Amino acid sequence: MANTIDNAFIKQFEAEVHLDYQRMGSKLRNTCRSTNVTGSTARFQVIGKGAATTKSRNANITAMELAHSTVEVTMADWYAPEYIDKLDELKININERQAVTKSAAAALGRKTDELIIAALDAGANSTQVADTGGALVKADLLTLFETFGSEDVPEDGQRYLAMSPAGFADLFSITEFASSDYVGPQNLPFAGGMTMKEFLGFKIFSTSAVAGGKNFAYHTSAVGLGINADVQTEINYVPEKVSHLATSMMSMGAVVIDDDGVFEVLDNN
């Protein structure tokens, strides 16, 4: 159980709880291709590129012979439990159960992002964009745009660039990124609560799941998230503990489906 629960006991007029700042929920989950899984393994189908050919009159056509393959990922179970002592709850006037539940859900949200980032890191294309000798500049983003184009990654609004907070901060020195003269007032970095900004066809956002020095650019269809059991929470009373056990849990797995749609974007942060 939480041995520090006494920190939340009522002292004089204190009745509010300040949860430690934490990233609530997952930022990357909705940027990936996801599938519900029945079983222990998720399998994503991959179909290769086709090529168009010509033919002479009355000749036979040439089939594209599309290559079919699969990418698999094993599901992993994750739990975020906490005991809430029944008598301790009598000494506080806050909703301890709700606070614990929210914290557990946030922990699983962060774990979801960690799984996706780990998959991106393990399966990223060997081509790395930018230079570790300096902060990200406009030329680096233009190189990234060219790289995606040369790999025929679709420009369909599903290109993403997940950045560390330090890497994202580098972009504010790029006039074309931060000035309304180029992007208009509606697309400034702080518009909409600083959640995500579109630039050069990439939806760019910062997240603490990305470590400094290495950011990830990817297309939605290039990254798979298998969901065996979505995030869920339950609270049960445990007589032996004279406590309620709040447990949040999930079962998921992430994998890169197509290396050509995932690239590392480096900086010196």
Q: What is the pLDDT of residues 28-67, one digit of tens each?
A: 888 999 888 888 888 877 777 777 888 888 788 888 777 7
Give the position of tokens 């006991």.
9
Per-residue pLDDT at 19 exceeds 50 = no
Q: Inform me whether the pLDDT recorded for 115 exceeds 80.
A: yes
Better-scored residue on pLDDT, 115 or 180: 115
Q: What does DSSP say about strands 202-206 and 197-199: parallel, antiparallel, or unpaired?
A: antiparallel
Predicted confidence (pLDDT) at residue 23 exceeds the cutoff of 60: no
Rounded distance between C-alpha atoms, residue 173 and residue 194, angstroms = 16
The CB-side HSE value for 239 (13 A sphere, CA atoms) comes to 0
pLDDT over 90 percentage in the chain: 22
- Domains by residue range for the chain, with CATH: 5-266 (3.90.1690)
What is the predicted pLDDT for the residue at 15?
A: 37
Q: Is 181 helix (H, G, I), strand (E, B) or coil?
A: helix
Could you count the other beta carbons within 10 Å of the beta carbon of residue 136? 27
Identify the pLDDT of residue 21. 37
pTM for this predicted structure: 0.81
pLDDT for the residue 220: 94
Residue 17, pLDDT score: 31
> Hey, what are 113's tokens?
């992002």
Task: Give me the mean pLDDT over the 232-256 stretch.
Answer: 88
Tell me if residue 250 falls in helix, strand or coil: strand
pLDDT in tens, 74-107: 899 999 888 888 887 777 776 777 777 778 888 8
Say what the pLDDT of residue 185 is: 61
Do residues 33 and 223 lie in contact, with contact meaning Cβ atoms separated by under 8 Å? yes
Average pLDDT over residues 196-214: 86
As a whole number, the mean pLDDT across the chain is: 80
Q: How many CB atoms lie within 10 A of CB 167?
A: 26
Cβ-Cβ contacts under 8 Å for 127 (sequence gap 6 or more): 147, 263
Structure tokens at 239: 């007589």
Mean pLDDT calculated for residue range 197-206? 89
Q: Which comes out higher in pLDDT, residue 171 or 89?
A: 171
Nearest in space to 167 (alpha carbons), one of 206, 221, 128: 206
Confidence of residue 146 (pLDDT cuts 50, 70, 90): very high
β-pairing, 223-238 vs 33-36, is parallel
Per-residue confidence at 235, pLDDT binned at 50, 70, 90?
Answer: confident
CA 27 – CA 119 distance, rounded (Å)? 15
Is the pLDDT assigned to residue 233 strictly greater than 70? yes
Alpha carbons within 13 A on the beta-carbon side of 255: 20
Is the pLDDT at 143 greater than 80? The verdict is yes
Average pLDDT of the segment spanning 214-242: 89
Q: How many CB atoms lie within 10 A of CB 32?
A: 24
Task: Name the residue among 11, 1, 17, 13 with its Cα closest to residue 96.
Answer: 17
